[in-house]
Structure 1
Amino acid sequence: MRVLMVHARYRHPGGEDVSAATEAEALSALGVTVERWTLPPEDGSGVRAFGRAVWNRTAAAELGERVAAARPDIVHVQNFFPTLSPLVHRTAARLGLPVVQSVRNWRLVCPAATRFRAGRPCDACTGHAIAWAALGRPCWRDSRTATAGAAAALGLHRLIGTWRRCVRAFVCPSTAVADVLPASWPRAIVPNMADPGTAGPGGGPIIYAGRLTPEKGVSLLADAWRRFPGLPPLHVMGDGPARAALEGMPNVVLLGQRSHAEVLERLSTARAVVVPSLWPEPFGRVVIEAAARGTPAIVSAAGGLPELVEDGVTGFVVPAGSSAAVAGAVQGLRPAMRTAARAAFSRRFAAPVVAPRLLEVYRSCL
């Protein structure tokens, strides 16, 4: 089988970029010929950028050229917004190729792709072809104009049937994601995958790795480590506007932005990884990367996170918004959770186990 995998990278590199690359490598290991078309992050703004997000003829033409050269059996689109526009889906379908679309964020149901606004989860636009509730609000990039542009671009393609007619399967990493898509869209649940790696020694600090933004629950971490000074050290990798909430705190080490390789190395020696998100995380890649190294996770009951952790066995699932619950989970960690986390990863999220499931989705679309 030959696959053309299309992905537009993000301004801030993150889990979706890693997931796209991991899938390509895992499929190649199965003997699939994967031609990768990876675009740099979009660097424009204003009317021209909005036009590209709606109907990017240049990207569509290049897709046609790549199809002619690679002669794929299927086109797998990872992230398309805003660099590519859904015109690539329409072009691939016009050329007679089945299209698979990964859904690793909430963009198809929320212009901001977060389902989070004004400090709390928001579903005002979920279930509507046009995100009318977002118009006039600075949901995306703190800009009313950018938000309106995103809503218009995605709404137009809902109305003209791009998703319904041109996509054979929407590949969702969790049930939480699949459940918010329109019922008429064909969906397949295939979790994100990670390289098996090796289990680490653990026993070190609690790790947080990710963007330091309000929806990620950074304030909860600050509150938990302030109220419960006996907790193990917290090492924080990442940066963002919520960094100030953790600055100057005893027993909290701010490591700043680190490479993906260093994050994985530190996860191996961590006591646990903590993901205290307030927004509904579609998945939570750091959880499975930690589990691959035998490190349990403490996650909030938000979005797809509870699907990744067996509460009390491979970590803990705590109520979203409760710093006391986070602290209690840290205090309740047990050595046996390391073995359980690694075993669960090997069974559910290891690339050699998950990649064949994605290959089956491809075959079902041919």
Structure 2
Amino acid sequence: MAMKIVQFGVAFSPNMGDGIISDCLEFALKRLVPDLDFARIDLSGRTAPGDVAVGNRLLMLRILALMPGTLRQRVVSLRLRQLLDAATPRWRATLDRADLAVFGGGQIFSDADLNFCLKIARASDLAVEAGVPTVVHAAGVARNWSPRGRVLFSRVLETDLRMIGLRDDRSIAAWNDQMPAGQNAPAPVLTRDPGLLAAACYGAVATTGEIGIGVTAPEILAYHANIAVRSDGGALFAAAAAALCARGHRVALFCNGAAEDEALLRRLGRRANLAGHVADGLLRLAARPDSPAALARLIGGFDAIVAHRLHACIVGYAYARPVVGLGWDRKVESFFASIDGADRFLGADAVSADAIVAAVERGLAADIDPATHARVLDETWRGVGRMLASVADGTDLT
């Protein structure tokens, strides 16, 4: 019988970067185990691409932001219990006869109003019930766990946990500092984000000669960020695009797929300082990607990428394109540090249109270091192999 692996993540998120994680994980696993059966469980209760877990998300976030923290947790917990109760029979059926359940990747060990805490606790309970071994693979960990969140996240330690693989050193430190000690729990190790295999997964892409600027609604960033996020209505994106066009670069504004990001992108295209560049062909408003593959190939086609979204940066690097990461959350900074690219990250205090232009032009003038790039991809493959080895005979073979 074929080996069956179930991924707990957010594969059907409107942010196609999460789907890229899932696609690349499946690709890597099937490269190593060709007849493998790979199943996805979306922790937000979605069952297919295009499913909407939360309608009117911006309005909901604005309402939650007005509530005190304890009330916000109660409101979110009530809604999530309903969602999880409805999803539990499907999740239980998917776990049936599974050989391994994978938590990850993505920033799933983050406590925003107990959101992922409750989801991972429920998934952990079902894995225990099904007798399915588990691993954490390529997950990100935020340093924001509440006391209740710590208790909920610790339920993963009650599973038959074979390996804890986290995607950067900062996540490992945050896990060690926040996760309650678990009897016989494995020590966290570095396992890189599967999205780094995007070029292998989706194939080569011809370049368009454009600089891609990823547009992200600040309200979405602010809810998940661990630093203050400035809301400027997209002025930074507009200024950076105009400045690059003024220097003769062709620019494309793109988004990772979230409706809020797409709406902001379209508004930017109507701004007076950009409409002229759209008309003269220097600026393109890229179509909203409708699949993870579409997003990966869009990003892979740019000559350089500027983005807040982590997986826009990861995919750009996977395709060996110059990438400029913009500060809003430590996970983006951590990624650039992990690829020896701290000089390609602009922290929130350093971000400006001029700084972006300078960073892009530096990147275009210098190739990605091939030795570092090869090492990072090799480490990504090794992490997947290590995960498989951990369940092959019940031990973590390192």
TM-score, with structure 1 as normaliser: 0.68
Structure 1, unpaired ranges of 5+: 110-122, 131-153
Show the counterpart of 1:87: 122
Matched, 1:34 2:69: no
Offset, 1:75 = 1.6
- Which 10-residue stretch deviates more, 262-271 or 317-326? 262-271
Residue identity in the other structure for 1:188: V
Show the counterpart of 2:284: 253
Change beyond 3 A, Cα 1:8–1:225? closer
Aligned residues: CA RMSD: 4.0
Show the counterpart of 2:184: none
**2, 14, 17: which is aligned to 1:15?**
17
Offset, 1:97 = 2.8
Which one has a larger percent helix, Structure 1 or Structure 2?
A: 2
Matched, 1:204 2:231: no
Show the counterpart of 1:274: 306
Show the counterpart of 1:190: 191
Residue identity in the other structure for 1:34: D
Write the distance in 2 (CA, Å) between the matches of 1:305 and 1:231: 30
Offset, 1:272 = 0.6
Q: Percent same amino acid at aligned positions?
A: 12
Write the distance in 1 (CA, Å) between the matches of 2:345 and 2:40: 37
Write the distance in 1 (CA, Å) between the matches of 2:294 and 2:52: 27
Matched, 1:320 2:351: no
Write the distance in 1 (CA, Å) between the matches of 2:326 and 2:160: 32
Secondary structure of 1:16's match? helix
Residue identity in the other structure for 2:237: L
Write the distance in 1 (CA, Å) between the matches of 2:133 and 2:347: 41
Structure 2, unpaired ranges of 5+: 61-73, 109-114, 182-186, 222-228, 256-260
- Which 10-residue stretch deviates more, 229-238 or 208-217? 208-217
**151, 167, 171: which is aligned to 1:177?**
171
Show the counterpart of 2:251: 234
Write the distance in 1 (CA, Å) between the matches of 2:80 and 2:190: 27
Offset, 1:61 = 4.1
TM-score, with structure 2 as normaliser: 0.63
The number of equivalent residue pairs is 312
Cα displacement string for residues 317-337 of structure 1 (whole angstroms, at most 9, x for unaligned residues) = 333342132121122234541
Cα displacement string for residues 182-238 of structure 1 (whole angstroms, at most 9, x for unaligned residues) = 254653321112244466565711112464446398543323344563252220112
Show the counterpart of 2:385: 356
Show the counterpart of 2:375: 347
Show the counterpart of 1:137: none
Residue identity in the other structure for 1:220: L
Cα displacement string for residues 72-116 of structure 1 (whole angstroms, at most 9, x for unaligned residues) = 33222348867966323112124433222457466xx5xxxxxxx
Residues 272 and 297, structure 1, Cα contact 8 Å, conserved in 2: yes
Change beyond 3 A, Cα 1:11–1:74? closer
Write the distance in 2 (CA, Å) between the matches of 1:96 and 1:361: 16
Change beyond 3 A, Cα 1:195–1:354? farther
**156, 165, 168: which is aligned to 1:163?**
156
Cα displacement string for residues 38-83 of structure 1 (whole angstroms, at most 9, x for unaligned residues) = 4424646899985573483554444444444x2x332223488679
Residue identity in the other structure for 2:384: A
Write the distance in 2 (CA, Å) between the matches of 1:52 and 1:361: 36
Change beyond 3 A, Cα 1:230–1:63? closer
Cα displacement string for residues 233-284 of structure 1 (whole angstroms, at most 9, x for unaligned residues) = 2201123454334543134322241244444444344221112x3xxx6xx2
- Which 10-residue stretch deviates more, 28-37 or 12-21? 28-37
Write the distance in 1 (CA, Å) between the matches of 2:206 and 2:52: 40
Write the distance in 2 (CA, Å) between the matches of 1:270 and 1:44: 32
Change beyond 3 A, Cα 1:226–1:127? same
Write the distance in 1 (CA, Å) between the matches of 2:171 and 2:382: 21
